Structure 1
Amino acid sequence: MTTQIGFTPPDFPAADPAAPAPGPVRRRHVVYLPGYDPEAGKRYRALFAREFTRYAKRFALGTRSITRAETRPDGLVQTWTVEAGRGEAETRTTYQVLLWDDVVRADFRRPLIASMALLTAGMLHSLATGKLFRLYGLNWKYGNVILYPFGMVLILGALAAFLGTGVAHLLAGWLPGFAAGLVGALAGIGLVLAATPLLDRIFLRQLINDWVFNWQHSNGWRRDYEDRLALFADHVAGIVRAGEVDEVMIVGHSSGGLTAAEVAARVLEKALPAAPRLSLLTLGAGLPLVTINPRARRVRADVMRLVGSDRLVWADYQAPQDWMNFPGFNPARDLGETPAGPVRNPAIRSTKFREIIDPAVYRRISFRPFRMHFQFLMANDLPGEFDFFALTLGPQALGERVLAPEIVPLRPETPPEPVPVHREI
């Protein structure tokens, strides 16, 4: 897709001239929805703490503190508190990660050969239904990311078949044909199992299981995930009903962008007070991975409910440099559904990574798709309109920041310095 990134809906709730001017956010509750990640319980707290520390060293934050993380006994909610800002712009944010990595780990316990078979079935189904071609039309780079695990599965399967056939031929003179074939098959399976640690290091098993999950979810075959969404929606609705903060912000990155949207849609189904402000922030989201399937009726209805809702503000940030999102995708236009009423969401903005990443770092990470994909959650090197920490910790409500962002400057006492180029996710 080559559409220019940037869209403000004609009836964007935050742009209503008749609405009273919102006051600054003093207290915010952020709920973050990870994508399909078996290590979410460890990864996102560590990433947030490291990048917030780096951000505070470079930018004029004033007050800055972060508490230790605490995980609820049921393992579903991880919480910490952040204070940031200066004077009247000081904010206190309760930051929570809503965890479903146990669901992901259950998929990872599935034998790799079974995952490879499911991937093959899902890919053939996507070819037959035209889903893969539609995804290529939205972003050919993401299409290549989707084909990568399937191509590797074909290569690995061919190597296993070659090894198994060779072993069977070598043993044919000493063993009966059936026994030689059985040993050959075991040798091929052994090759796949032996390769598993290497496949994990190159994210192949993660991509295989991720694709299988999205295929299953788009066809309505993930009851475990649906049950978790219901729990998350109840949790967020409870925060809104408590009314103790100025803004409740639901945040999702990558495939977690769709999870965040699904949770937000379920929250809107509940009877909730008008305050506090409810907002949805999606970053590098992969909504079409599931919603492009016409059989994903519930998910598509969820997204379209958000498109027409005036009860929340939705902002979607995209980046053409990131292979694993869909720059230019607008659900109000590209989902194949006709909005039932006014188009109110989402406001779509470009992250403009070239303007906020140090040039030396940008050159290095341009060839590292996973590293670029996680830039959405990392500290800027340079001031800019997209600023993950200003969005989630700053005094501007989401809708206000999208329309008129206040740029956080660098610390005057600390001149810009070259940034290490080897920062990992």
Structure 2
Amino acid sequence: MRNSLSFTPPDLQEARLEAVRHRYVFYIPGYDPEARTRYRLLFVREWARYTKRFDGGRRTVSCAQLSENGLVQSWAVSAPEQGDGAETRYDVLLWDDIVAADFARSRFLSVALLIAGTAHMIVSGLLFRFYRLSWKYGNVILYPFVMVILLTALSVAIGVGVHAHLGDWFGHSLGWPLWISLPLGVVAGVAWIKLIEAFLNRIFFWQLLNDWVFNWQHGQGWRPDYERRLDAFAGHVLSALAARTETGQPTDEVMIVGHSSGGLTAVEVAARLLARDASIGASGASLSLVTLGSGLPLVAMQPAAASLRAEIARLVTERRVVWCDFHAPQDWMNFPGFNPLRDLKLRLCGQQPVANPLVRSARFRDLLCPETYRRVRFRPFRMHFQFLLANERPGAYDFFAMTLGPRRLREQVLAPVACREREPALLL
């Protein structure tokens, strides 16, 4: 592989050795139209699986509450009754309404945007750069475009067949004129796609098509709705932390976590927080940023995304935050070994310290039992979500140790401690 799978910045923030007793996690999902119904259930299910295999301590998880504006879903996880671990407040920052609006637009418009975006990526040479970073993700990017070509060809063939053979099917004596048979052929060529809508959803055709269109539009600066949501997210984080301070609730670590497209969102929110509040991360609670299986290059490499690259450059040299970017070679929808410092050619304005990001591989092959790995290795979305699922084996990457454990992100990444497995008798 061309890129190293690990990188440790030379000017990483200094260690804080105190244990984390109170953590505030702000989780940002990816491009998912069902986020508000998915992630609380996923968290509870995977935590139950995790505790059956590992000694995570007995905890309670509260019911989820939705904020009045519908942008935040929250729950709390208690500290373990025995052993080490943090009491964790968990806020899911929602933008699934924006995603749902994309899904609701005209299918023809979505396809037209896909064709325009893909053509732009090919002409500009960006698609080839994506392939050099990850041939798997390159195939995922091209998948909806190739499917559009195949579906169009089949639709034309069906339409031509209906038009050409209509007389044979209904009898030559009917004498169908061209102005009837031709429109019927066009309708038949389009209608069959509607009939296979459920199949297209099962193979994630519309999901990946709209996701790619969104990333292209965002890179071109054409998503003001998303930009407003970023500002709203940053405002929520700051107001939530201020409220905890006012009410005397302690916070040892503030952790912003983004998965998939949400990894880019987490980066943008963190950059806004640091720009708005000079004290955040400098005193009091430490600030951690975690990006999981991020597709950040899809947007950041676009020439028009200069403001995003400037935000990333500030994060790279910002010692108030510890940023760790996790990837996995087994995941089809991320860029293993991608390092913004090297691959984005950032302008760091002189000899500034390089403090971020820590780049690490989650090594899914080592976290899963061989039977499970063989079963899911060719299921791209299943592998992509492994970042959020319970390990089957102890490993350096551990989502629940990172978000619920007693160690800060920096120490958990630099000196990982694998969670202890339960005794075999307790697994029954």
For the Cα contact (< 8 Å) 2:52–2:427, is it kept in 1? no
Confirm or deny that 1:142 pairs with 2:137. yes
Q: CA deviation at 1:372?
A: 1.0
Which ranges of structure 2 fall in alignment gaps of 5 or more residues?
none
For residues 263 and 383 of structure 2, the distance between their equivalents in structure 1, rounded to whole angstroms, comes to 16
For the Cα contact (< 8 Å) 1:315–1:349, is it kept in 2? yes
> Aligned letter for 1:377?
L
Q: Residue 99 of structure 1 aligns with which residue?
A: 94
Q: Residue 181 of structure 2 aligns with which residue?
A: 180
- Secondary structure at the residue paired with 2:287? strand
Q: Deviations over 1:205-259 (max 9, x none)?
A: 1011111111111101111111111100111122344443111100011111101
- Secondary structure at the residue paired with 2:181? helix
Q: Residue 253 of structure 2 aligns with which residue?
A: 247
> Aligned letter for 2:256?
I
Q: Residue 277 of structure 1 aligns with which residue?
A: 286
RMSD: 1.8
For residues 228 and 28 of structure 1, the distance between their equivalents in structure 2, rounded to whole angstroms, comes to 24
Number of equivalent positions: 412
Q: Residue 382 of structure 1 aligns with which residue?
A: 393
Q: CA deviation at 1:272?
A: 4.1
Confirm or deny that 1:217 pairs with 2:223. no
> Aligned letter for 1:80?
W
Alignment of 1:36-115 (within 5 A): 36-85=31-80, 87=82, 89-115=84-110
Q: Which moved more, 1:183-192 or 1:289-298?
A: 183-192
Q: Which moved more, 1:79-88 or 1:153-162?
A: 79-88
Q: Residue 111 of structure 2 aligns with which residue?
A: 116
- Secondary structure at the residue paired with 2:26? strand
Q: Residue 346 of structure 1 aligns with which residue?
A: 357
For residues 196 and 263 of structure 1, the distance between their equivalents in structure 2, rounded to whole angstroms, comes to 35
- Secondary structure at the residue paired with 2:3? coil
For residues 177 and 112 of structure 2, the distance between their equivalents in structure 1, rounded to whole angstroms, comes to 29
For residues 156 and 116 of structure 2, the distance between their equivalents in structure 1, rounded to whole angstroms, comes to 19
For the Cα contact (< 8 Å) 1:56–1:64, is it kept in 2? no
Choose the corresponding residue for 2:316, options 307, 326, 335.
307
For the Cα contact (< 8 Å) 1:60–1:412, is it kept in 2? no
Cα pair distance change 1:275/1:178, threshold 3 Å? farther
Q: Residue 33 of structure 1 aligns with which residue?
A: 28
Which ranges of structure 1 fall in alignment gaps of 5 or more residues?
16-20, 418-425
For the Cα contact (< 8 Å) 2:57–2:83, is it kept in 1? no
For residues 132 and 350 of structure 1, the distance between their equivalents in structure 2, rounded to whole angstroms, comes to 24
For the Cα contact (< 8 Å) 1:30–1:93, is it kept in 2? yes
- Secondary structure at the residue paired with 2:256? strand
> Aligned letter for 1:154?
I
Q: Deviations over 1:343-381 (max 9, x none)?
A: 110001111222221121112111211111111100111
Q: Residue 10 of structure 1 aligns with which residue?
A: 10
For residues 362 and 413 of structure 1, the distance between their equivalents in structure 2, rounded to whole angstroms, comes to 22
Cα pair distance change 1:240/1:70, threshold 3 Å? closer
Q: Residue 273 of structure 2 aligns with which residue?
A: 267
Bigger Rg over Cα:
2
Q: CA deviation at 1:413?
A: 6.0
Q: Residue 227 of structure 2 aligns with which residue?
A: 226
For residues 308 and 176 of structure 1, the distance between their equivalents in structure 2, rounded to whole angstroms, comes to 71
Q: Which moved more, 1:98-107 or 1:272-281?
A: 272-281
Q: CA deviation at 1:129?
A: 0.7
Q: Deviations over 1:11-61 (max 9, x none)?
A: 11145xxxxx43111111101001100011111111111000111111112
- Secondary structure at the residue paired with 1:266? helix
Q: Residue 423 of structure 1 aligns with which residue?
A: none
Q: Residue 304 of structure 2 aligns with which residue?
A: 295
Q: Deviations over 1:52-82 (max 9, x none)?
A: 0111111112232211111112211000111
- Secondary structure at the residue paired with 2:284? coil
For the Cα contact (< 8 Å) 1:160–1:189, is it kept in 2? yes
> Aligned letter for 1:40?
A
For residues 85 and 40 of structure 2, the distance between their equivalents in structure 1, rounded to whole angstroms, comes to 22
TM-score by length of 1: 0.93
Q: Residue 194 of structure 1 aligns with which residue?
A: 195
Q: Percent identity?
A: 53
For residues 232 and 339 of structure 1, the distance between their equivalents in structure 2, rounded to whole angstroms, comes to 26
For residues 12 and 414 of structure 1, the distance between their equivalents in structure 2, rounded to whole angstroms, comes to 43
Q: CA deviation at 1:5?
A: 1.0
Q: Residue 399 of structure 1 aligns with which residue?
A: 410
- Secondary structure at the residue paired with 2:314? helix
For residues 267 and 306 of structure 1, the distance between their equivalents in structure 2, rounded to whole angstroms, comes to 11
> Aligned letter for 1:223?
P
For the Cα contact (< 8 Å) 2:260–2:293, is it kept in 1? yes
Cα pair distance change 1:53/1:344, threshold 3 Å? same
Q: CA deviation at 1:165?
A: 2.0
Cα pair distance change 1:383/1:166, threshold 3 Å? same
For the Cα contact (< 8 Å) 2:231–2:272, is it kept in 1? yes
- Secondary structure at the residue paired with 2:60? strand
- Secondary structure at the residue paired with 2:406? coil
For the Cα contact (< 8 Å) 2:85–2:404, is it kept in 1? no
